[in-house]
Amino acid sequence: MSRSARLLDLVQILRRHRRPVSGRMLADEMGVSIRTLYRDIATLQGQGAPIEGEAGLGYVLRPGFMLPPLMFSDEEIEAIVLGSRWVAKQPDKRLAAAAADALAKIAAVLPDDLREDLDATTLLVGPRSESVEAIDLGVVRKAIRDERKLGFLYSDAGGSTSKRMVWPFALAFFDKVRVMVAWCETRQDFRHFRADRISDLAATDIRYPRRRQAMLKEWRATLAASGQNGRKDTLR
C-alpha cells in the first residue's frame, strides 16, 4: 500500500469514530507500527486535517473535514470507471454523456500514477441491448428531481392502453429495460412503468403533494411487506 493510500485510510478510519480513539487501536487496525501511526497523524495535521489529540490520550477528527477529491484506492478507481462505462452505454443519452464527461474530468486532474491506473483498468462493460424506448428519460429524471407530475399513455402486457397521471420518484435501470417507479393517481397506489411501454410523455409544472424521499421509503416498506407475505412484486 502506498503512503498516500495509507493516509487516506487513516482519515476514513478516524471518520468512523466520533470519540477519541487510541493510537494503538488505530495502528492495529491499519497494520502499522505505533511509530508509523504517529508519523502519519503528524503528516495529516501538517496538511491541514483537523485531528485533535495526542499520544496516550487518543485522536479524533473534527466534523466537516473534506478529503482531497483526487485520492482513490485501486478498487475505488475500478468502481468509478466501471460505473461510468456502464452508464455511458445506457439509452439515456444525456446521462450517458454526463458519465463520459465526469470520467474525463476526473482523469484530467488525477495525479499521473492514478491516471494511468484509471486508463489501464481491465473491467469492461459489454454492449448494451437495443432499446425500443421512444421517450426521453431525461424528462423523467427531471420530473423526479423537481417532484413534478408526469402524464402519459401506458400499454400493459396485453396491449391495452390507458391514460395515466403519476408522481415519479425513482428510475430503475435494468439490463434490457428502464422502469419508472411512481404513485399512480388512477390506481391510487404505487406502480412500476416500463419505459418501453410509455408514449405521449408530457411533463407538467404541477408539484405533487408528497416528498419523493417519503414515497421512496414507503414504497420500499411495501416491497418488504410483500416479500414477507410471500407475494411477488411484478413490473406493471
How big is the chain by its Cα radius of gyration, in Å? Answer: 24
Q: Is the pLDDT of residue 236 over 90?
A: no
Closest to 179 in 3D by CA, of 222, 217, 234, 127:
234
Q: Is 12 strand, coil or helix?
A: helix
Q: What is the 3-state secondary structure (H, E, C) of 158-221?
A: CCCEEEEEEEEEEEEECCCCEEEEEEECCCCEEEEEEHHHEEEEEEEEEECCCCHHHHHHHHHH
Mean pLDDT value of segment 123-141: 80
Any idea where the domains of the chain sit in the sequence? 3-61, 74-120, 137-228
Q: Is the pLDDT of residue 223 over 50?
A: yes
pLDDT of residue 134: 81
Relative to beta strand 58-61, strand 178-184 is unpaired
H/E element, 86: helix 74-88
167: cell is 408522481
Mean pLDDT value of segment 40-57: 85
User: What residues pair up with 190 in beta bridges, in sequence order?
Assistant: 183
pTM of the full structure: 0.63
Closest to 170 in 3D by CA, of 196, 199, 193:
193
- pLDDT, tens digit, for every residue of 144-202? 999 999 999 999 988 899 999 999 999 998 888 899 999 999 999 999 999 999 999 99
Place of cell 458519465: 99
Angle value at C-alpha 89, between 200 and 118, nearest 5 degrees: 150
CATH code at 137-228: 2.30.30
Q: What is the rounded CA–CA span in Å between residue 115 and residue 183?
A: 44
pLDDT of residue 79: 87
- Structural domain 3-61, CATH architecture: Orthogonal Bundle (1.10)
- pLDDT, tens digit, for every residue of 59-109? 998 876 655 545 677 787 888 888 988 888 888 888 888 888 888 877 776
Q: What is the rounded CA–CA span in Å between residue 205 and residue 212?
A: 16
Of 124-128, 210-214, 226-230, the range with the highest mean pLDDT is 210-214
Task: Answer yes or no: same fold for 3-61 and 137-228.
Answer: no
Share of the chain above pLDDT 70, in %: 88
Q: Is the pLDDT of residue 139 over 90?
A: yes
Q: What is the rounded CA–CA span in Å between residue 24 and residue 94?
A: 50
pLDDT of residue 88: 84
Mean pLDDT value of segment 17-44: 90
46: cell is 501538517
Q: What is the rounded CA–CA span in Å between residue 112 and residue 66?
A: 22
Share of the chain above pLDDT 90, in %: 40
Q: Is the pLDDT of residue 234 over 60?
A: no
pLDDT of residue 16: 83
| DSSP label at residue 89 | T
